[in-house]
């Protein structure tokens, strides 16, 4: 987790074998404690994937996977409510000076998600690839060969390295 949890937003008991994150209005780039569970990327070649049940209710709501170095250097791949409908979206923040995430790619979902959405991030040394699927093992590339150097300690600073994780954000109600 990022920073010390001040409230309970992780649930491992309601649906045994599943992780439930309660979406809260704490962003990846903020100073609060976002609904974010992370695991360190240990090798230059690695991948992470998940099956996610999520239907965003309001503009700005989102949940998905991250490749995260810090609050100013990360990629987010997930389901986002874009103001009119749910979409698969890839966001990037690559600067301490950035005031907003950059949308690198976006694909509409056909209607609200009724089943799981599958997400995958693949790291290949200095490149990252982002995939999604709406049925098992039918991966569609959203963006490939994204610049992975933005997640390096040389560019992003610090000493911790990149982490993969699951993240949920709920816009202020």
Residue 40 lies in a domain: yes
| Residue predicted with more confidence, 162 or 3 | 162
pTM for this predicted structure: 0.92
Q: pLDDT digit string (tens) for 56-87?
A: 989 999 999 999 999 899 999 999 999 899 99
How many Å apart are CA 172 and CA 61, to the nearest integer? 9
The rounded distance, in Å, linking the Cα atoms of 100 and 12 is 32
Residue numbers of the domain that contains 67: 10-169
On the question of pLDDT at 143 being above 90, the answer is yes
Q: Is residue 125 situated within a structural domain?
A: yes
Domain assignment present for 72: yes
What percent of the chain has pLDDT above 90? Answer: 61
Kindly list the distances between the CA atom of residue 80 and the CA atoms of 22, 98, 156, in Å, as whole numbers in the listed order: 15, 20, 25
Residues 95-112: tens digit of each pLDDT: 878 778 999 999 998 765
Name beta bridge partners: 141: 131
The CATH number linked to 72 is: 2.60.120.200
Q: Does the residue 4 lie in any domain?
A: no
Q: Please report the DSSP string for 117-159 in residue order.
A: EEEEEEEETTEEEEEEESSTT--EEEEEEEEGGGGSHHHH-SS
Number of domains in the chain: 1
Residue 133 belongs to some domain of the structure: yes
């Amino acid at each position: 987790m990022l920073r010390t949890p001040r409230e309970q937003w992780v649930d491992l008991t309601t649906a045994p074998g599943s992780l439930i994150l309660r979406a809260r209005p704490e962003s990846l780039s903020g100073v609060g404690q976002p609904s974010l569970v992370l695991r360190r990327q240990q090798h230059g070649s690695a991948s992470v994937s998940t099956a996610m049940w999520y239907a965003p209710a309001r503009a700005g709501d989102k949940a998905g996977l991250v490749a995260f170095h810090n609050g100013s250097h990360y990629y987010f791949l997930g389901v986002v409510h874009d103001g009119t409908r749910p979409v698969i979206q890839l966001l990037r923040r690559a600067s301490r000076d950035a005031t907003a995430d950059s949308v690198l790619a976006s694909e509409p979902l056909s209607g609200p998600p009724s089943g799981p959405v599958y997400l995958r991030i693949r790291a290949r040394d200095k490149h990252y690839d982002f995939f999604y699927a709406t049925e098992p093992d039918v991966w569609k590339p959203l963006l490939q060969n994204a610049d992975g150097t933005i997640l390096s300690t040389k560019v992003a600073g610090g000493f911790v390295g990149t982490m993969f994780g699951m993240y949920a954000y709920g816009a202020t109600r």
